[in-house]
């Protein structure tokens, strides 16, 4: 190599050789300290100038940036696209999949290191071991982070089976449910306040656990997501921003199908619908987007949500008194600034009325239950659940025609849902309930079986299928279904108490008392606080003549039952059968004090006074008390109620024994207008005519008693034949 000096001094080969080198790209590399500018002529004759320490002079900042971008534009483009996509998707993945912002940031940083590292190594820009380590470690960390997050999305953390799980969905904004800062704020505020309320609440809600889930686009999607988490309740909704910045929060709180395990009453499942921006009347509007006004309005609206959630939690925990208090507070919050005219689309308020009605029904307050359910049916015009429960309520009040009308409406609504969503478990199950209320058992059975085709693990549907089979007399088939339900309950860690008690009923109908008792005891062990389990055991012991054991179970029923009206009434029935009239009257009085509008309670009270009047220790005052109770019952019953029969019949007996035969005849005749084929009333009417000296009507009545179609007791038939021969065979 030949060197030429442009200065005064010459430079020897020995001085330069150890200090200067040329890399593979023809760039001069050196570490010397020669001040002069020299020319280096390579083997090809090219001359390269090296200044100072043998490096080329710096071209400046912006030219350097330009050179770097030009040389690495592919890598930079990959980085820009990768991080741009992550930045763009960040709000969505946070809202739909609950990916934490730190995870997104960590993915971006690691992706940057991976792309820079491997692209540099592939292009031989750097060969240091340090970069190999950085690239490998960053790749492993990125893969681990993505794998961990994928597992969290596909298999999310579930609520503990011992907890009452409430999943709160991320509130989207607008009809499209877009992620937004306001929606996130509502969601987190709701979770924070709900957590605070449950923690400060009484021990009844000590097992409540609050969790977050991503945006849900419909009620069915919300239920499915909640089911995956093992939640008992799902809260979901949206923010609607209307004209002039008006903001409305719409919400819906849903039971997941898995929570419907206890069919002590027909369990209708509300069917929700996606909201639209037009639904703005069911919450408070804010005519400004000013931060503090929005916060205040959202706070007021979230009160309704929180009261509703807590009320529903109490409801599902069978604390119906507390449920009513919370739900009434929710109703007041929703009504606070509503216009007087409530629109039919007010789904939020309709659900509050629905669960209020259900709670009153569970407490035996049937009249108040019907009032609330009528409101729910009016507000939620497209949902069959309120109508199914309302039909049940009408039936308990003896309003059979109204019950049939609303049950038919429920069938139509279920079929409407199924036309667009043929696999809707809620609609199929409610369709079965509606048909069962109409006593169309074949159709009900088809609907319940369709539920199990869609979801074989839907526990309550197995029980409903078994009950229809029992009604049809197919006991062996019913037993097989109940056993299958019990096996599934044990496998899924569900409470199979209701399947056990229904299996006991099926065995009892077969005459297998030993197996029936085993199932009743198993049910009571699984649900020691469930009144129905003690009721079935008490009835079993009572029929078997085990009176002491029966009494113990009735007392347990009284201790644990939420429906104290019913519990005192059935205890009164038991005591009356044991001829413990004083205790029976006391029980009926307690029941009527809790529900003074229940006409049947007064009818039972009248019968008990009548029995005591007819006993050896009876007093004339008992007759007066019986008559007064019967009058109370009739005053509380609607016109032409079938329950009138249970008042006219015993009141006719009272008048007969008082020798007030005209009144006895009038009451027996009224009873026969309701049930013309009652052998007991026909026989009593014949005796009343006989005692009153009306031989023509007596003969006609005695002849009817002898009709084989009447199926009267043999002793009544023999007496009727004897009196007919004496009075009429002339």
* Digit-coded pLDDT (tens) for 351-379: 889 889 989 988 888 889 999 999 999 88
* Alpha carbon 137 to chain centroid, angstroms: 47
Phi, psi of 387 (to 5 degrees): -70, -35
Cβ proximity of 244 and 287 under 8 Å? yes
What's 17's DSSP letter?
A: T
Within 10 A of 55 (CB to CB), how many other CB atoms are there?
Answer: 13
Tokens at 283, concatenated: 């919450």
Give me the long-range contacts of 620-623 (CB less than 8 A, separation at least 24): 623/654, 623/658
Token pair recorded at residue 340? 């007087």
Which range has the worst mean pLDDT, 263-272, 281-290, 341-350, 414-423? 281-290
Structure tokens at 625: 């008390």
On the question of pLDDT at 624 being above 80, the answer is: yes
Residues 341/232, Cβ–Cβ less than 8 Å: no
Question: Residue 199 has what pLDDT?
Answer: 75
Q: Please give the Cα distance from 143 to 110 (Å, whole number).
A: 9
Q: How confident is the model at residue 20 (pLDDT cuts 50, 70, 90)?
A: very low
- Where residue 432 falls among pLDDT bands split at 50, 70, 90? very high
Name the one residue in this structure whose structure tokens are 């940083």.
109
> Under the phi-then-psi rule, with left for phi > 0, alpha for psi from -120 to 50, and beta for the rest, what region is 488?
alpha
DSSP assignment letter at 159? P
For residue 227, how many other CB atoms are within 10 A of its CB? 18
Residue 75 has pLDDT above 50, yes or no: yes
Rounded-to-5 percentages of helix, strand, coil across the chain: 65, 5, 25
pLDDT for the residue numbered 657: 94
DSSP string, 78-107: HHHHHHHHHHHHHHHHHHHH---HHHHHHH
Between residues 213 and 273, the one the model is more confident about: 213
Arithmetic mean of pLDDT, 695-706: 91
Percent of the chain predicted with pLDDT > 70: 71
Q: What angle do CA 656, 657, 661 make, to 5 degrees?
A: 30
pLDDT tens digit string along 148-178? 767 766 677 777 777 778 888 877 776 667 7
Distance of alpha carbon 105 from alpha carbon 355, whole angstroms = 44
> Is-contact 141 110, C-beta < 8 A?
yes
Q: Which residue has the higher pLDDT, 3 or 566?
A: 566
> For 455-560, where are the alpha helices, taking DSSP H only?
459-471, 475-491, 497-510, 513-526, 531-543, 547-560
Alpha-carbon distance 651 to 91, whole Å? 73
Model pLDDT, residue 333: 78
Tell me the residue length of the chain.
730
- Cα 23 to Cα 30, 373, 713: the distances in Å are 10, 88, 120
Q: Let me know: does 569 contact 591? Beta carbons within 8 Å.
A: yes
Q: How far apart are CA 515 and CA 510, in angstroms?
A: 10
pLDDT band at 514, cuts 50/70/90?
very high
Q: Measure CA 185 to chain center.
A: 25
The model's pTM: 0.68
* Mean pLDDT for the stretch of residues 385-400: 88
Is the model more confident about 272 or about 1? 272
Residue 432, number of CB atoms within 10 A of its CB: 28
Report residue 172 as tokens. 């989207």
Among 199, 179, 190, 294, residue whose Cα is nearest residue 251:
190
How many whole angstroms separate alpha carbon 49 and alpha carbon 28?
Answer: 9
Q: In the prediction, which pLDDT does 315 show? A: 82
Q: Which of 191-200, 295-304, 586-595 has the lowest mean pLDDT?
A: 295-304
Neighbours of 422 (CB within 10 A): 11
Nearest of 86, 147, 74, 148 to residue 111 by alpha carbon: 86
Q: Which of 170, 164, 216 is nearest to 190 (CA)?
A: 170
Nearest-angstrom CA–CA distance, 339 and 333: 13
**pLDDT category of residue 443 using cuts at 50, 70 and 90:** very high
Residue 6's alpha-carbon distances to 45, 46, 51, in angstroms, are 18, 17, 12
723 to each of 292, 370, 687, how far by Cα in Å? Answer: 90, 49, 9
Return d(Cα 173, Cα 409) in angstroms, integer.
34
Grouping H, G, I as helix, E, B as strand and the rest as coil, residue 318 is coil
Q: Give every CB contact of residue 40 below 8 A, 6+ residues apart in sequence.
A: 1, 3, 20, 22, 28, 47, 48, 49, 50
What digits encode the pLDDT tens for the residues 170-217? 777 766 677 777 777 777 777 887 788 777 755 567 777 887 777 777
Mean local confidence (pLDDT), 371-390: 89
Residue 290 burial by CB count (10 A; 0-12/13-18/19+): exposed, middle or buried? exposed
What sign for the dihedral angle of Cα 183, 189, 195, 200?
Answer: negative
- Residue 273 confidence (pLDDT) above 50: no
CA dist., res. 100 & res. 102, Å (int): 5
Helix (H) or strand (E) holding 251: strand 247-255
Q: Which helix (H) or strand (E) holds 212?
A: strand 208-213
Q: Rounded to 5 degrees, what are φ and ψ at 483? A: -65, -40
Q: Tokens 């006993």 correspond to what residue?
A: 615
Mean of the per-residue pLDDT values of the chain: 77
pLDDT at residue 529 is higher than 90: no
Least confident span in 83-87, 100-104, 218-222, 359-363: 83-87
Rounded CA-CA distance 427/447 in Å is 9
Nearest residue to 314 via CA among 296, 292, 329, 297: 329
pLDDT at 49: 43
What separation in angstroms does the CA of 244 have from each of 239, 285, 286?
15, 11, 9
- Average the pLDDT over each of 161-165, 481-485, 723-727 and give the range with the smallest value: 161-165
What is the C-alpha end-to-end distance of the chain, expressed in Å? 158
- Cα–Cα distance between 520 and 646 in angstroms, integer? 31
Torsion region of 391: left, alpha or beta (phi above 0 gives left; psi -120 to 50 gives alpha): alpha
What is the per-residue pLDDT for 247?
52
Question: How much is the average pLDDT of 28-35?
Answer: 41
Phi, psi of 21 (to 5 degrees): -150, 165
- Per-residue pLDDT at 342: 37
What per-residue confidence (pLDDT) applies to 241?
62
Residue 56: both structure tokens together: 């080329």
Whether 30 has a pLDDT exceeding 60, the answer reads no
Given this model, what pLDDT does residue 42 score?
43
């Amino acid at each position: 190599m030949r060197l030429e000096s442009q200065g005064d001094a010459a430079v020897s080969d020995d001085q330069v050789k150890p200090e200067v080198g040329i890399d593979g790209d023809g760039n001069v590399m050196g570490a010397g300290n020669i001040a002069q500018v020299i020319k280096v002529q390579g083997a090809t004759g090219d001359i390269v100038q090296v200044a100072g320490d043998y490096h080329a002079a710096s071209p400046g900042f912006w030219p350097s940036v330009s050179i770097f971008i030009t040389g690495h534009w592919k890598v930079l483009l990959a980085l820009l696209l990768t991080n741009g996509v992550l930045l763009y998707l960040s709000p969505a993945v946070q809202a739909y999949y609950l990916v934490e912002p730190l995870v997104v940031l960590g993915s971006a940083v690691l992706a940057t290191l991976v792309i820079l590292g491997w692209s540099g190594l592939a292009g031989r820009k750097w060969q240091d071991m340090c970069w190999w380590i950085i690239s490998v470690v960053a790749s492993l960390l990125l893969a681990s982070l993505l794998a961990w997050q994928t597992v969290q999305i596909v298999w999310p953390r579930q609520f503990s089976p011992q907890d009452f799980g409430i999943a709160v969905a991320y509130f989207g904004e607008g009809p499209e449910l877009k992620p937004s800062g306001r929606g996130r704020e509502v969601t987190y505020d709701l979770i924070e306040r709900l957590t605070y309320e449950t923690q400060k609440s009484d021990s009844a809600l000590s097992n409540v656990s609050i969790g977050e889930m991503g945006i849900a686009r419909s009620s069915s999607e919300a239920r499915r997501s909640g089911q995956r988490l093992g939640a008992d309740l799902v809260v979901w909704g949206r923010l609607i921003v209307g004209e002039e910045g008006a903001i409305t929060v719409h919400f819906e709180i849903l039971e997941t199908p898995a929570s419907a395990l206890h069919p002590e009453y027909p369990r209708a499942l509300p069917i929700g619908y996606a909201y639209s921006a037009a639904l703005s009347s069911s919450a408070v509007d804010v005519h400004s987007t000013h931060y503090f006004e929005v916060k205040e309005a959202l706070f007021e609206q979230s009160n309704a949500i929180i009261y509703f959630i807590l009320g529903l939690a109490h409801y599902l925990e069978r604390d119906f008194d507390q449920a009513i208090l919370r739900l009434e507070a929710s109703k007041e919050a929703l009504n606070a600034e509503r216009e007087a005219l409530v629109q039919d689309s007010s789904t939020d308020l309709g659900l509050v009325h629905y669960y209020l009605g259900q709670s009153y029904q569970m407490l035996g307050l049937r009249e108040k239950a019907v009032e609330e359910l009528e409101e729910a049916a009016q507000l939620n015009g497209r949902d069959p659940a309120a109508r199914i429960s309302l039909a049940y309520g009408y039936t308990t009040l003896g309003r059979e025609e109204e019950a049939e009308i609303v049950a038919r409406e429920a069938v139509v609504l279920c079929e409407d849902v199924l036309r667009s969503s043929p696999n809707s478990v809620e609609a199929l199950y409610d369709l079965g309930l509606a048909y069962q209320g109409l006593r169309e058992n074949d159709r009900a059975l088809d609907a319940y079986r369709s539920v199990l085709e869609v979801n074989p693990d839907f526990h309550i549907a197995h029980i409903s299928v078994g009950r229809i089979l029992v009604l049809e007399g197919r006991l062996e088939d019913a037993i097989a279904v109940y056993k299958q339900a019990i096996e599934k309950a044990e496998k899924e860690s569900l409470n199979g108490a209701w399947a056990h008690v229904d299996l006991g009923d099926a065995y009892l109908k077969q005459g297998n008392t030993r197996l029936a008792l085993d199932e009743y005891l198993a049910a009571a062990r699984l649900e020691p606080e469930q009144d129905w389990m003690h009721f079935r055991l008490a009835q079993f012991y009572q029929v078997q003549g085990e009176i002491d054991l029966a009494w113990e179970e009735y007392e347990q029923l009284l201790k644990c039952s939420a429906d104290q009206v019913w519990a005192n009434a059935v205890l009164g029935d038991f005591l009356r059968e044991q001829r413990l009239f004083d205790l029976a009257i006391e029980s009926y009085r307690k029941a009527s004090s809790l529900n003074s509008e229940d006409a049947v309670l007064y009818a039972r009270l009248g019968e008990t006074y009548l029995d005591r009047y007819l006993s050896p220790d009876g007093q004339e005052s008992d007759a007066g008390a019986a008559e007064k109770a019967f009058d109370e019952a009739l005053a509380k019953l609607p016109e032409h109620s079938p329950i009138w029969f249970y008042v006219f019949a015993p009141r006719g007996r009272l008048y007969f024994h008082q020798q007030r035969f005209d009144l006895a005849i009038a009451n027996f005749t009224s009873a026969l207008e309701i049930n013309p084929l009652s052998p007991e009333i026909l026989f009593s009417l014949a005796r009343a005519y006989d005692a009153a000296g009306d031989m023509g009507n007596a003969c006609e009545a005695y002849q009817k008693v002898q009709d084989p179609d009447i199926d009267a007791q043999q002793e009544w038939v023999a007496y009727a034949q004897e009196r007919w021969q004496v009075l009429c065979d002339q």
